[in-house]
Structure formats: structure tokens, C-alpha cells
């Protein structure tokens, strides 16, 4: 590669690299802080980690039967039928996907739950489900919920653009049952309320007994793991032995070193002062961090020198997305034709090879920090469960960022090697697809089998 960069540019990129770098000693410090916050969250003390008990353990792998699952937590709502064969196979014989109308997302809770039940009704009819039988159903609801038993939980706060009134502070299963009654649907028995992280752990551990952790790296980021019930001090129930999955809500972890780019992003967000880790790690934010640095580069006249008119294209918040970074970083052509095409479709043509190299480098700086912070958080949880890493651990991960961002998994694996040396081999990250669908049906099966 020919280095044509002027000194100022070179210096600025060295500065950026340093600013966004996460060293092994940074990670060790973060792990310590994570453990403190985990302990506080489990004891019920003030903590940036909510550590929410799920009231369910991981599956044994022999659960079988037919289940339904609902998946609410993004732009689409899904209803699925899932068949478990008791040998590690979860099949989806039929599923339907519905776009949630804006007026139901942001109207009244009654309208939202009536919409959900309308979808269930359509699903039952379309697939000729016999309504004289009853079916166990798991409700995957991927918002922060204060769960008090396997099928009871109150919404703490809406996220991801939902604002339906009369739902915050209420039991969402109760609201669903009321809506089912309004529509005279009596063949559905809601046996579990789940979160997508818990579903992801369940989906992977159904086939892999070494899986004790589930992670989401998509629009947001979160994780759950298998904890000894005796360690969940705040749990006020007389069940002392055994294990339970704990939903950490780790996106809110706040002992992180933020930069001059993270702060304005947080300020302009709908939830300033919260979700610091999520804002440095997940798909909803990486594009925006990159855009803020790019705007700074343009302002300093370090990029697009020949394209001053085009620079305004990225002036708007949200105009550079993580998916775009994925395309920029994934371009392996000699002259970075893919990067050029990406910018051309965004109004900036004829960019120089030098600028293309800089853009790729910028995306790498931002995504590497995300991958390393994600891996650091996983390391914290695994060393909490198993301080000396004596056992093998599989981590089931779902989400488009982990699945699709070029080199994301490799960067995480590299960090484990830096931190743990040879023992890093004991950590396996696996893409566990559709935790919020198949995984929650598995949770419904675990709930059904653990009924007294």
C-alpha cells in the first residue's frame, strides 16, 4: 500500500486509533468493574446491571412437543409454530410475520395488544389450527421487564420506538390474556415470558450442553447466563438449589471510557445518560459514531478534499448506518471499488484511493472497539461463572451485527487470545439463530416440563 497521507492526517488517525483502543489492561479493569456491578445487581443494590432473574433454567435437550411462540421486540411481530423432537432439533413448520403499524406501536396499549391478538387469530385461521385443543405458548418480549415468575413480568420502560400507553408498569402477560379474552380465543395457554437473550441461550443449549451464556448483538446488545440460585441474593423465594438464567440487561453497563464522539451521540439519543455499553457496541449506534468522526475529519479538511460539495451528505444524524460500515469494511478489492460505489450512491463520487483507505480504516477503528468491548463483557461473565476457565464454554450469539459484520467474530476471538492465552480455546462463540423464535418455544417446553 502506498502511503500518500499528509502528516496531519496520519497524526489524526494515530490519535483516533489510540482514542478508541481497548488494551488488555483496560479489559482487566473493566472485568473487575463488571464483577462488582454483577454482584450488586444480584443482591438488589444500586447497579447499572439489573440482573433480572428469568425463573427458568436451561433446557435438558430432551424437551419435546409442539409449541407456539410470539416474538415482539423490533419492527416486525412474529407468530411461530415450533416442533421440538427431544433430540436437539427445533423445526418451524409454519410462521407468520406482521409489520407493526406505527399507530399501534405509539397509540394505546389496548390497540397494540388487540393488534397482536389479531395476528394470532389470522395465524390460527391461515394454518387451520384446531381451536378445540389448547397450545402452550411462549411470549418473547424483548424490552426491559421486571420478571416475578416464569409467566409474569412488568414492563419497566419502552425502548426501540415503542410508546404505547398504559403498558409501562403493567404485567404484559396479563395484558395479552385480556386481549385474547376480548377476541374469544381460548386455545392459547401462555406458559412463559421470555427475553431474546434467554431464548438465544435456550436455543443453543438445547443442542449443546456446554452453552451457559446467550448474547444479542443486533440493534441493541444484551446478555444472559446461567447462575446458581444461591448467588441471586435478592431472590425472595424458597428455592435455594439449582440454577436459573439471569438476564443482565448489560447494555446499560456504565463503567466504560467514553470519547468526545460518544458523548454527543448520547446527548442526542432518546435516552441520554443510559445504555452506555450498548451505545458503543450495538448496530443502532456504530454507524452514528463513525459518522460523527467522519464529520470531524471533513471539518478538519482531512478527507474528501476534492469533493467539498459532497461532504454535506453525512451532515444529518443517522445518515451513515452500521450496515454501510459493513459494506465499507467488507470490500476486499484492490482499488476498493465497493467503497467508491457506496459513497457514490450517497452523493460523493470520484473519491480518491487515499480517502477510501481512510474510510475503511475509520470503520475498522469503530468496529474493533465494539467487538473488543463485547468480548470483554463476555470474558467478565465467563470468569464470573468459572474464574480459572477450567471448563469449556459455548456462548450462543444472535443478531445481525455479529452475524453479518465482516471480521466481527474474529476480532472477538483475538481478544480472548490476548486475554487468556491458550485457555481462549475453551471459549466458543456460536451464531445461535432465532433465539427469539425457536428459543422461546424451548423455554415454553422447559416451563411445561417443570410444572409441579
| Binding positions for ligand ADP, 412-441, rule CB under 6 A | none
Cβ distance to ligand ADP smaller for residue 257 or 323? 323
When binding is defined by CB under 6 A, the residue of 195, 252, 326, 360 that contacts ligand ADP is: 326
Q: Helix, strand, or coil here: 79?
A: strand
Catalytic hit among 71, 104, 136, 196: 196
When binding is defined by CB under 6 A, the residue of 404, 426, 431, 433 that contacts ligand ADP is: 404
Identify which range of 17-25, 131-139, 250-258, 394-402 contacts ligand ADP by CB under 6 A: 394-402
Q: At what angle do helices 7-20 and 353-385 cross, to 10 degrees?
A: 10
Rounded CA gap, 450 and 443, in Å? Answer: 10
Phi then psi for residue 442, to 5 deg, are -65, -40
Identify which range of 21-29, 106-114, 306-314, 397-405 contacts ligand ADP by CB under 6 A: 397-405
Cβ distance to ligand ADP smaller for residue 195 or 326? 326
Q: What is the x/- site pattern for ligand ADP, positions 203-232, by CB under 6 A?
A: ---------------xx-------------
Cβ distance to ligand ADP smaller for residue 173 or 284? 284
Q: Which of 427, 405, 411, 378 is nearest to 197 (CA)?
A: 378
Cα 304 versus chain centre, distance: 34
Rounded CA gap, 96 and 79, in Å? Answer: 5
C-alpha pair distances (Å), 216 with each of 199, 248, 292, 400: 10, 11, 25, 9
Cβ distance to ligand ADP smaller for residue 293 or 320? 320
Rounded CA gap, 180 and 188, in Å? Answer: 8
Catalytic hit among 50, 160, 323, 404: 160
When binding is defined by CB under 6 A, the residue of 178, 400, 407, 430 that contacts ligand ADP is: 400
Q: Do residues 343 and 254 make contact, with C-beta atoms less than 8 angstroms apart?
A: no
Identify which range of 95-103, 132-140, 334-342, 398-406 contacts ligand ADP by CB under 6 A: 398-406
When binding is defined by CB under 6 A, the residue of 401, 419, 442, 445 that contacts ligand ADP is: 401
**What distance, in Å, lies between the first and last C-alpha atoms of the chain?**
67
When binding is defined by CB under 6 A, the residue of 41, 59, 144, 283 that contacts ligand ADP is: 283
| Binding positions for ligand ADP, 73-102, rule CB under 6 A | 73-74
Gyration radius from the chain CA atoms: 23
Q: Do residues 433 and 422 make contact, with C-beta atoms less than 8 angstroms apart?
A: no
Instruction: Say which residues have a Cβ less than 8 Å from residue 60's Cβ, sequence separation at least 6.
Output: none
Residue 437 beta carbon to ligand ADP: minimum distance, rounded to whole angstroms: 11
Residue 196 bears catalytic tag: yes
**Cell numbers representing residue 427 in the block:** 471459549
Q: Helix, strand, or coil here: 24?
A: helix
Residue 381 beta carbon to ligand ADP: minimum distance, rounded to whole angstroms: 20
Residue 305 in contact with ligand ADP, rule: CB under 6 A: no
Residue 401 beta carbon to ligand ADP: minimum distance, rounded to whole angstroms: 4
Q: Do residues 257 and 20 make contact, with C-beta atoms less than 8 angstroms apart?
A: no
Residue 367 in contact with ligand ADP, rule: CB under 6 A: no
Residue numbers annotated as active site: 160, 196
Query: Which residues would be at the binding site for ligand ADP (CB under 6 A)?
Result: 73-74, 218-219, 283-284, 322-323, 326, 399-401, 404-405
Amino acid at each position: 500500500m502506498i502511503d500518500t497521507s499528509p502528516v496531519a492526517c496520519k497524526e489524526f488517525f494515530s490519535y483516533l486509533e489510540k482514542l478508541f483502543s481497548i488494551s488488555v489492561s483496560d479489559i482487566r479493569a473493566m472485568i473487575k468493574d463488571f464483577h462488582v456491578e454483577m454482584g450488586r445487581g444480584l443482591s438488589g443494590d444500586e447497579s447499572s446491571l439489573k440482573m433480572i432473574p428469568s425463573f427458568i433454567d436451561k433446557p435438558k435437550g430432551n424437551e419435546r412437543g409442539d409449541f407456539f411462540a410470539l416474538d415482539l421486540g423490533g419492527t416486525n411481530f412474529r407468530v411461530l409454530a415450533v416442533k421440538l423432537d427431544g433430540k436437539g432439533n427445533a423445526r418451524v413448520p409454519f410462521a407468520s410475520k406482521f409489520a407493526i403499524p406505527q399507530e399501534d406501536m405509539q397509540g394505546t396499549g389496548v390497540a397494540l395488544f388487540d393488534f397482536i391478538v389479531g395476528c394470532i387469530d389470522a395465524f390460527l385461521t391461515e394454518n387451520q389450527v384446531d381451536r378445540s385443543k389448547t397450545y402452550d405458548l411462549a411470549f418473547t418480549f424483548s424490552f426491559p421487564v421486571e420478571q416475578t415468575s416464569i409467566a409474569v413480568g412488568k414492563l419497566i420502560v419502552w425502548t426501540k420506538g415503542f410508546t404505547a400507553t398504559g403498558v409501562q408498569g403493567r404485567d404484559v402477560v396479563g395484558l395479552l390474556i385480556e386481549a385474547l379474552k376480548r377476541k374469544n380465543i381460548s386455545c392459547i395457554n401462555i406458559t412463559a415470558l421470555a427475553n431474546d437473550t434467554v431464548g438465544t441461550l435456550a436455543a443453543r443449549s438445547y443442542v449443546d450442553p456446554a452453552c451457559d451464556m446467550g448474547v444479542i448483538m443486533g440493534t441493541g446488545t444484551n446478555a444472559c447466563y446461567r447462575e446458581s440460585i444461591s448467588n441471586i441474593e435478592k431472590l425472595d423465594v424458597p428455592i435455594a438449589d439449582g440454577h436459573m438464567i439471569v438476564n443482565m440487561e448489560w447494555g446499560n453497563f456504565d463503567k466504560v471510557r467514553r470519547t468526545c464522539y460518544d458523548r454527543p451521540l448520547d446527548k442526542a439519543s432518546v435516552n441520554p445518560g443510559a445504555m452506555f455499553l450498548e451505545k458503543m457496541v450495538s448496530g443502532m449506534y456504530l454507524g452514528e459514531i463513525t459518522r460523527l468522526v467522519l464529520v470531524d475529519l471533513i471539518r478538519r479538511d482531512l478527507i474528501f478534499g476534492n469533493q467539498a460539495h459532497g461532504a454535506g451528505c453525512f451532515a444529518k444524524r443517522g445518515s451513515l448506518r452500521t450496515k454501510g460500515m459493513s459494506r465499507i469494511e467488507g470490500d476486499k478489492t484492490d482499488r476498493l471499488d465497493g467503497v467508491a460505489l457506496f459513497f457514490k450512491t450517497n452523493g460523493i463520487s470520484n473519491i480518491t484511493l487515499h480517502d477510501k483507505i481512510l474510510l475503511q480504516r475509520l470503520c475498522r477503528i469503530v468496529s474493533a472497539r465494539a467487538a473488543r468491548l463485547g468480548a470483554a463483557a463476555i470474558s467478565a461473565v465467563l470468569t464470573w461463572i468459572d474464574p480459572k476457565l477450567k471448563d469449556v464454554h459455548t456462548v450462543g450469539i444472535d443478531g445481525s451485527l455479529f452475524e453479518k459484520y465482516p471480521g466481527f467474530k474474529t476480532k472477538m476471538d483475538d481478544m480472548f487470545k490476548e486475554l487468556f492465552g491458550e485457555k481462549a480455546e475453551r471459549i466458543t462463540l456460536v451464531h445461535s439463530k432465532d433465539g427469539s423464535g425457536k428459543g422461546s418455544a424451548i423455554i415454553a417446553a422447559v416451563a411445561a416440563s417443570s410444572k409441579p
